[in-house]
């Protein structure tokens, strides 16, 4: 059977036999890490099912209303389910939230007023959020444009600098912001235990300060979420982890009731809040995706570890490292040259079920300072819980691999990406020695 599989990969996908055998050999090095991932997935799967049972989810909840969307019971149950899963008082889950960045912007602009200050305590945030704030780009309507003040506290030895954070808090500081995920950086995602430690110290110093978490890419990678350990409010995207590959679009905000209410008022209008807003028939796909999400996230985590060990064995620096605690589904690889980043992404695109024939090239993507190359052959456009990869065209030329609805798809992506580098003389044959 193994020989037949190798033949299929070599003949139908054009992968060299040396690459197939190399990836198979490295796969054996990580099998012991899969048990814990499966245990986390099992726990989270039961948690998700129980939340649906608790709200008495029924098939008629998948119907939808028109116009204003008053009385949409299914929409209300989706939000109740999210609040149960994330252990919060309230939730806003809407298909019209276009992205994770949109969800974060809604939250920040809903909570902050002119002269309020917010502080990013995990260093510089992700590229698209820098334009939301107004520290990069020249867009109108940024937070700075509306009189919100901003500063950031760098990480210290890749951890939240708790003393530095506390020292940064002034009389106008209203909100502290934590980006859980790696983003386009060379740091690992922030583990839940470190988030918990930081929040406790911050709340001991100033209990009424708002702690917000960008949870994109982090959902269901642990048995607890940031809102379980003290985060006041949290935002994320439905076309990442919690959508399970089935949600067509959308985002969520979960947290304290008064905070979510302010965000809801920003999303529609004061006095309307959560009472209006169509689901456009997406309730079923949102909940079915959520049902599958813990298992899908486990598949993506296994794929990230595989791609990590493969490229580490090829001599590249990776983040997180193989034995690091993982707090998101992203695997960063320092490929050192733009040619390698592009060929890696071409390999991931070629492994996709959708748009496999398209050749990704660097382009000026909205919201990014540098050109970005992006491999995204998903059933849902831009769904980064599906097999995908991207990287900015800037030194030291990291590529960020994420997603994979099945581990097997991740493995195919690993093999074709390595093969692309190999056939273009971007790695030597000696590196493929078993």
Q: pLDDT, tens digit, for every residue of 265-280?
A: 999 999 999 999 999 9
pLDDT of residue 1 exceeding 80, the answer is no
CB-neighbour burial class of residue 344 (10 A; exposed 0-12, middle 13-18, buried 19+)? buried
| Inter-residue contact 251 to 99 (CB < 8 Å) | yes
Side-chain-side CA neighbours of residue 318 (13 Å) = 22
Does residue 136 sit within a domain? yes
pLDDT in tens, 406-423: 999 999 999 999 999 999
Q: What span, in angstroms and rounded, lies between the C-alpha atoms of 306 and 24? A: 10
Where does 272-324 show beta strands of DSSP type E?
317-319
- Tokens representing 76? 């209300």
Q: What pLDDT does residue 244 have?
A: 98
* Beta strands per DSSP E along 229-330: 233-237, 251-255, 317-319
- Distance CA(150)–CA(142), nearest Å, equals 11
Asked if 423 and 378 sit in the same domain, the reply is yes
82/183 same-domain check? yes
Q: 180 lies in a domain?
A: yes
- For residue 270, give its domain range: 68-279
129 and 247 fall within a common domain: yes
What DSSP string runs through 191-202?
PHHHHHHHHHHH
Residue 434 pLDDT class (50, 70, 90 cuts): confident
The answer as to whether 7 is a domain residue is: yes
Of all helices (H) and strands (E), which one includes residue 372? strand 372-376
For 116-138, letters b (16+ CB in 10 Å) and e give bbbbbbbbbbbbbbbbbbbbbbe
pLDDT digits 0-9 by tens, 75-120: 999 999 999 999 999 999 999 999 999 999 999 999 999 999 999 9
Distance CA 85, CA 316 (A): 38
CATH code for the domain in which residue 252 is found: 3.40.640.10
Q: How many angstroms separate the CA atoms of 109 and 180, rounded?
A: 20
Give the integer Cα–Cα distance in Å for 184 and 75: 34
Residues 194 and 112 in one domain: yes
Residue 301 lies in a domain: yes
Instruction: State residue 201's pLDDT score.
Output: 98
Cis peptide before 396 (omega within 30 of 0): yes
Specify whether the CB–CB gap between 130 and 97 falls below 8 A. Answer: no
**Residue length, the chain?**
434
Same-domain check for residues 103 and 126? yes
- Angle of CA points 182, 188, 192, to nearest 5°: 95
pLDDT in tens, 21-58: 999 999 999 999 999 999 999 999 999 999 999 999 99
**Vertex 300: Cα angle to 294 and 303 (nearest 5):** 145
Confidence of residue 3 (pLDDT cuts 50, 70, 90): confident
Instruction: Tell me how far apart the terminal alpha carbons of the chain are, to the nearest angstrom.
Output: 21
Question: Is residue 26 located within the same domain as residue 135?
Answer: no
- Report DSSP state, residue 87: T
Token pair 């917000």: residue = 212
Do 235 and 307 share a structural domain? no
Q: Which helix (H) or strand (E) holds 174?
A: strand 173-179
The answer as to whether 54 is a domain residue is: no
Query: Is residue 323 located within the same domain as residue 377?
Result: yes
Which tokens in the block code for residue 291? 């049902």
């Amino acid at each position: 059977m193994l020989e037949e599989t190798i033949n299929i990969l070599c003949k139908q996908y054009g992968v060299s036999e040396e690459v197939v055998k190399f990836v198979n050999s490295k796969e054996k090095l990580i099998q012991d890490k899969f048990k814990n991932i499966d245990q986390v997935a099992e726990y989270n799967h039961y948690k998700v099912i129980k939340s649906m049972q608790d709200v008495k989810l029924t098939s008629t909840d998948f119907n939808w209303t028109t116009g204003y969307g008053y009385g949409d019971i299914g929409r209300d149950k989706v939000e109740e389910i999210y609040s149960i899963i994330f252990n919060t008082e309230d939730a806003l889950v809407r298909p019209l939230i276009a992205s994770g960045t949109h969800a974060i912007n809604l939250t920040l602009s809903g909570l902050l007023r002119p002269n309020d200050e917010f502080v990013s305590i995990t260093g510089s945030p992700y590229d698209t959020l820098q334009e939301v704030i107004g520290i990069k780009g020249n867009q109108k309507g940024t937070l700075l444009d509306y009189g919100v003040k901003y500063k950031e506290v760098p990480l210290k030895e890749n951890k939240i600098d708790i003393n530095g954070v506390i020292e940064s808090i002034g009389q106008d500081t209203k909100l502290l912001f934590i980006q859980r995920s790696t983003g386009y950086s060379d740091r690992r995602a922030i583990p839940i235990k470190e988030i918990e430690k930081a929040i406790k110290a911050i709340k001991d110093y100033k209990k009424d300060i708002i702690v917000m978490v960008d949870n994109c890419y982090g959902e269901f990678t642990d048995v607890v979420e940031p809102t379980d350990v003290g985060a006041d409010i949290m935002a994320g995207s439905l076309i990442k982890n919690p959508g399970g590959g089935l949600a067509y679009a959308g985002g969520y905000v979960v947290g304290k009731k008064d905070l979510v209410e302010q965000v809801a008022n920003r999303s529609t209008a004061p006095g309307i809040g959560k009472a209006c807003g169509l689901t456009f028939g997406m309730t079923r796909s949102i909940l079915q995706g959520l049902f599958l999400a813990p298992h899908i996230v486990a598949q993506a985590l296994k794929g990230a570890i595989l791609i990590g060990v493969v490229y580490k064995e090829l001599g590249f620096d990776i983040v997180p490292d193989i034995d690091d605690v993982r707090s998101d589904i992203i695997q960063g690889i320092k490929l050192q040259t733009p040619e390698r980043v592009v060929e890696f992404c071409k390999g991931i695109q070629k492994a996709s079920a959708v748009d496999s024939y398209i050749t990704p090239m660097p382009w000026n993507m909205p919201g990014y300072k540098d050109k970005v190359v992006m491999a995204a052959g998903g059933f849902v456009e831009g769904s980064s819980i599906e097999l995908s990869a991207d990287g900015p065209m800037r030194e030291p030329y990291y590529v960020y691999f994420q997603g994979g609805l099945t581990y097997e798809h991740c493995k195919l992506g690993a093999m074709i990406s390595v093969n692309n580098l190999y056939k273009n003389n971007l790695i030597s044959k000696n590196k493929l020695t078993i």
